[in-house]
Amino acid sequence: MGTRTGIQAITPASAGQTSRPALTHDHSQCIRTALSQAEALCAASGARLTPLRHRVLELIWASHKPLGAYDLLDQLAREGHKPAPPTIYRTLDFLLEHRLIHRLTSLNAFLGCSHPGDVHAGYFLICQSCGNTEEMADTRGLQQAIRQATDAAGFAMQHGTLEISGLCQQCRDD
């Protein structure tokens, strides 16, 4: 499922990649690129990417599956850190505010944004079997249809996220 289908794996530089990101790309490079982009965006905006914010973002990017706040707390505790839940939520709020991650409401979880800093609606495909989550890349037609429907209803959309659950190609083939 490459860019031909309008689906892009959650990676900062994944044009032309397949839908199984953990199996088809250099994951360490994916993480380095995401962190580098985050550092540049924060520096440009004067925001402070503290060591905790940096580590939380790194943990989120280390998995192509959405992670919840308590998953992050558990991982940080295994590393010897002891942040309280409010600290993690403030960290996640910072990463969301700076468009470095997305929040998936249906899963109450977070994942890295493949094009951080860009104002955009998030459209996600969530595999109910393996948990891999992909952000749809070419969504112009979908955005236009949603805009027409909201305009017709007299509704002023402020933020849009669409989460579609199903089975990825790999799981359907298994």
Number of structural domains found in the chain = 1
Residues ≥6 apart with Cβ < 8 Å to 163 = 104, 105, 106, 107, 124, 126
Closest listed residue to residue 110, CA positions, set 129, 124, 120, 128 = 124
Question: Residue type at 98?
Answer: H
CB environment 126-144: b (16+ within 10 A), e (fewer): bbeebebbbbbbebeeeee
The pTM (predicted TM-score) of the whole model is 0.79
161-166 and 122-127 strand pairing: parallel
Give tens-digit pLDDT for 69-122. Answer: 999 999 999 999 988 999 999 999 999 999 999 999 999 999 998 888 777 788
State the residue range of the domain holding 114: 3-173
Task: Assign residue 125 the CATH number of its domain.
Answer: 1.10.10.10
